[in-house]
Amino acid sequence: MKLLQFILLFLALFLLNSCNDSGNTGNTSYYFCFSRPINQQEDSSTDYLFYTDVQKITGDEKVIKEKTREWYELIENICKSANGCTSDLNKYNSLQEAETGRNQMLENYKNQNKYNLEMVEFK
């Protein structure tokens, strides 16, 4: 299970690397983090999902990779799923895009009978 989480972390880092526009330091991006169980439960139990506010980040891909690693480590400590949790950092070029992405994510998981959304302080 830890191996799968490790693979997911590096896949996220690879995707962030390939989405980076120029690699210059000083780039400003906006992001929010999200986590859900790796295998969402089919029974009647509630899944715990974690998310953050939209944040601003300035720096190159090294800074973003470090932030992704920090989110992964936090989720490792608070994950409530026996199968483990994802640790996604969703990066956008504008604040509006990031807020739209986060609002869509929250809309997708608004069913309180199935999902327990929990906001996490993360900076």
Please tell me the distance from the alpha carbon of residue 59 to that of residue 27, in angstroms, as a whole number: 5
Predicted confidence at residue 7, as pLDDT, reads: 52
Give me the domain span that covers residue 18.
2-119
Torsion, CA 37, CA 6, CA 103, CA 94, rounded to 10: 180
Predicted confidence at residue 69, as pLDDT, reads: 96
Q: How many beta carbons lie within 10 A of that of residue 49, not counting itself?
A: 23
Predicted confidence at residue 112, as pLDDT, reads: 87
R_g over Cα of the chain? 15
Q: Which residues pair with 93 in a beta bridge?
A: none
Report pLDDT digits (tens) over 55-89.
999 988 899 999 999 999 999 999 988 889 999 99
What is the pLDDT confidence band of residue 123, given thresholds at 50, 70 and 90? confident
What is the pLDDT confidence band of residue 119, given thresholds at 50, 70 and 90? very high
Predicted confidence at residue 22, as pLDDT, reads: 42
pTM exceeds cut of 0.85: no
Half-sphere exposure of 81 (CA within 13 A, CB side): 26
Q: Which of residues 105 and 21 earns the better pLDDT score?
A: 105
- pLDDT for 107 beyond 70: yes
Predicted confidence at residue 21, as pLDDT, reads: 44
Predicted confidence at residue 86, as pLDDT, reads: 95
Q: How many domains does the chain have?
A: 1
